[in-house]
Amino acid sequence: MLYNKSIDKFFSEESMLDFSTMIYRIPALLFAITIHEYAHAQCADSMGDPTARYMGRMTFNPMAHLDPLGAILLVVAGFGWAKPVEINPSNFRNRREGILKVSFAGPAANLFLCFLAAFFMTFLNRFGLLSDGVYRFLLWMQLYNVWFAFFNLIPVPPFDGSRIFLLFLPEKLYFKLMKYERYIMIALLAAVWMGLLDAPLYYLNNAVWDLLSAGTGYIDRIAYSVYYAAAGTVV
């Protein structure tokens, strides 16, 4: 797959502190944040909880979903967060099912957007329409969406994975942990800044790209088929 083209080389060329890349990174980041939080809100509403709709979160306007500090850290450090979508599990028709589906909705939407970016990158490349700027934007789309999907499944507050964790912990213990949410977040940020998570994140990224490459191998075939069909040739 095209997006598997030397990810390490891409990272060595693209620095988080290189502000000249923001023309590609900021739009990609806004797409990732918006689709993630909108998916949470839409799923919660469909499961019977109107909290997100009443709070104006069922919108594709990125300003409704941005957390200023989290967004800045995402741009300059590659690690951050958006404004969480609030839910009231007591409104769900099935509380356990509702929490699970809403928690997974955001990461699933990010992975779907990542697949779309991979498809368009390959498709445009086959037609010779993939400029350097479009390539960088679509690759950042994939990177940010993968990061959003998997970071949010970390089972510590305030990530989505902590909601899933609730289902396997006594509620009293869970809410005791929630009291330390701020400190857990600070510790996690410190670990990222100190490079303590570099090795596991490196292997996780490589594993994710391998899975995406294996799972989207059909994109090349589709792109070739469309190309030859447009050229009037039978594949």
Taking the domains of the chain in order of start, what are their residue ranges? Answer: 2-230
Q: What residue type is 66 in one-letter code?
A: L
Residue 37 annotated as catalytic: yes
At 234 the pLDDT is 46
- Answer yes or no: are the C-beta atoms of 135 and 117 closer than 8 Å: no
State the catalytic residue, choosing from 13, 37, 86, 171.
37
At 4 the pLDDT is 43
Computed over every residue of the chain, the mean pLDDT equals 79
At 2 the pLDDT is 41
Within 8 A by CB and 6+ apart from 218, the residues are none
Quick: pLDDT tens for 19-56.
Answer: 677 888 889 989 999 999 999 999 999 999 999 999 99
Q: Tokens representing 22? A: 């923001």
Ranges of residues in the chain with a pLDDT under 50 are 1-6, 234-235
At 63 the pLDDT is 92
Q: How far apart are CA 59 and CA 40, in angstroms?
A: 11
Within 8 A by CB and 6+ apart from 173, the residues are none
pTM above 0.85, yes or no: no
